[in-house]
Structure 1
């Protein structure tokens, strides 16, 4: 069964989910957010992980949808905290409505995610809810660390990698482990799939950092250079700070702390320093390292090679993306 078929099943399942009608101000933002689309990578990981061990995938579609609803809940709240104007090329929920509405609608999405997990077989339900609750808490921990970093000037690269592991990567790991649990996989296979997801997730976020600076605005769907303008401690910035001499480090700090009339001028100036320090190549090297480690964990999973190839191909597409 081709990946496109799995994706179609996921899209159909997501289209059938009912969120409620009244008050419309609560539920319309949820439907708006979910209709923005996206790649639906996380539910696809759940389905593909399950397919490694069992042929029948329909029974995992609702819990897989739960992963996607939770993911969109985190995006809705992240956009508020980041004051992001765009999500997938469209107005963010808090811009289209307001922050209070986005918070409350996001809360309902979290509740809905739990509800979508309730349909798993009773034998798996305690494990699934325990894993999901831990993952959800870790995602929040990662977001808090990200906010903490906004006021710190001494963030290290290891600290940053820990933050993105929690904020981004653990959800990919959970999505894969969920599929494995529901497919009655062994503990070892579950953990290798989780690690495959976590390593891929770290590489995915580093790619996101890279695209924020070097991506095409029309393809990226977000403001290119947004991290620079927001002064976010990304892998690129931390690498530049670590590798720069005193002159370039001072210049970088001056630009980051400067309020400018033309945001594009600031983005170009900081990017020029990145170019001088070869930050793009260094980031790509780190991305490739994590991706290689991810594939090593996938190789250890006791499942048919042709089925593991779906996951390998999907991970590769994430590493080669331009948006």
Structure 2
């Protein structure tokens, strides 16, 4: 069994191989540039881990992992355009460095190349992998649309936000694990438990992300505190605060969102603490983490084989970076 970090190193090395032809350079060079920005490579490695939970890592798992990472980067390239983001990981985004049309087209071709990798796998399992890959891709797009809808919506229910996070973040983590499990020859029951492990872990991960943005130590987290608050992002924390706040607190929150004073972050955090949002978020994260662990526990393989996945959960959710 390989550790999560070992597989990240192996995948990163393999993924450095060129995925695009040389010409036309104006189409393919931006794709190579974007992939070289890097990333945590969590999703493709989850595919490899899903395979290794049941069997030695098959060549097909590397093909599917590569397709997953290309798909993920395609979504990021288009997200950057939608978000008008000038930087990703500290370097210019494709639409900033080149132009918007290039970023659209390069993203499109990256998705097509992802399908080229899927086409290389065993024809006997291809229909199952393809069905799951396509369903997941559609769900990620749905999640992005809900996210954009929520930006202009005055009221967003916590349940609706949860559903959006599930589609936008969780399903790709869950499907990556399940695709690996399918390649590893897992039973349908084991595949389902592993999918649910990934889905619940993904939600816990997002709750943790929202929590750290507000309450995390900027030195450890590597981000300015309260970025979501400054942008009036509808996070788990804000939606819960609006649900439980008394009329005076709610009115003050809405006023702060409207007026954006210089000390907005401090004032909003004070209201969050008055409403016990920090404690609630930690407990909610733990409840999803517990559900994830229960699903992993139910997978019918020896505990030692599950150790790398527990390590991954720790890395994703117990982190302070």
TM-score between the two structures when normalised by the length of structure 1? 0.92
- Would you say the 8 A contact 2:146–2:164 is kept in 1? yes
CA offset at residue 96 of structure 1? 2.8
CA offset at residue 56 of structure 1? 3.4
- Would you say the 8 A contact 2:15–2:66 is kept in 1? yes
CA offset at residue 250 of structure 1? 1.0
CA offset at residue 223 of structure 1? 5.4
Partner of 2:309: 311
User: Which runs of 5 or more structure 2 residues have no equivalent in the other structure?
Assistant: none
User: Which runs of 5 or more structure 1 residues have no equivalent in the other structure?
Assistant: none
Q: 1:144 to 1:304 in 2, by over 3 A?
A: same
Q: 1:133 to 1:241 in 2, by over 3 A?
A: same
Partner of 2:2: 2
Partner of 1:293: 291
- Would you say the 8 A contact 1:228–1:270 is kept in 2? yes
Partner of 1:225: 226
Q: 1:174 to 1:17 in 2, by over 3 A?
A: farther
CA offset at residue 312 of structure 1? 1.1
CA offset at residue 309 of structure 1? 1.1
CA offset at residue 212 of structure 1? 2.4
Partner of 2:172: 171
Answer yes or no: is 1:284 the counterpart of 2:282.
Answer: yes
Distance in 1 of aligned mates of 2:219 and 2:78: 24
CA offset at residue 259 of structure 1? 4.8
Partner of 1:14: 15
TM-score between the two structures when normalised by the length of structure 2? 0.93
CA offset at residue 126 of structure 1? 1.0
- Would you say the 8 A contact 1:88–1:221 is kept in 2? no
| Superposed CA offset, 1:73-121 (max 9, x none) | 2122222222233322333333333333222221122112212211111
| Structure 1 segment 1-323 matched on structure 2, within 5 A | 1-3=1-3, 4-217=5-218, 220=221, 224-259=225-260, 262=262, 265-323=263-321
Q: 1:103 to 1:226 in 2, by over 3 A?
A: farther
Deviates more, 1:47-56 or 1:88-97: 88-97
Deviates more, 1:79-88 or 1:311-320: 79-88
SS in 1 for 2:152: coil
Q: 1:310 to 1:181 in 2, by over 3 A?
A: same
- Would you say the 8 A contact 1:87–1:222 is kept in 2? no
SS in 2 for 1:19: coil
C-alpha RMSD over aligned residues: 1.9
Deviates more, 1:66-75 or 1:167-176: 66-75
Distance in 2 of aligned mates of 1:173 and 1:83: 28
Q: 1:291 to 1:93 in 2, by over 3 A?
A: same
Distance in 2 of aligned mates of 1:27 and 1:145: 31
Q: How many residues align?
A: 320
Q: 1:118 to 1:66 in 2, by over 3 A?
A: same
CA offset at residue 305 of structure 1? 1.4
Distance in 2 of aligned mates of 1:21 and 1:275: 55
Q: 1:51 to 1:143 in 2, by over 3 A?
A: same
| Superposed CA offset, 1:162-185 (max 9, x none) | 010001100011101100111111
SS in 2 for 1:321: coil
Deviates more, 1:54-63 or 1:154-163: 54-63
- Would you say the 8 A contact 1:9–1:61 is kept in 2? no
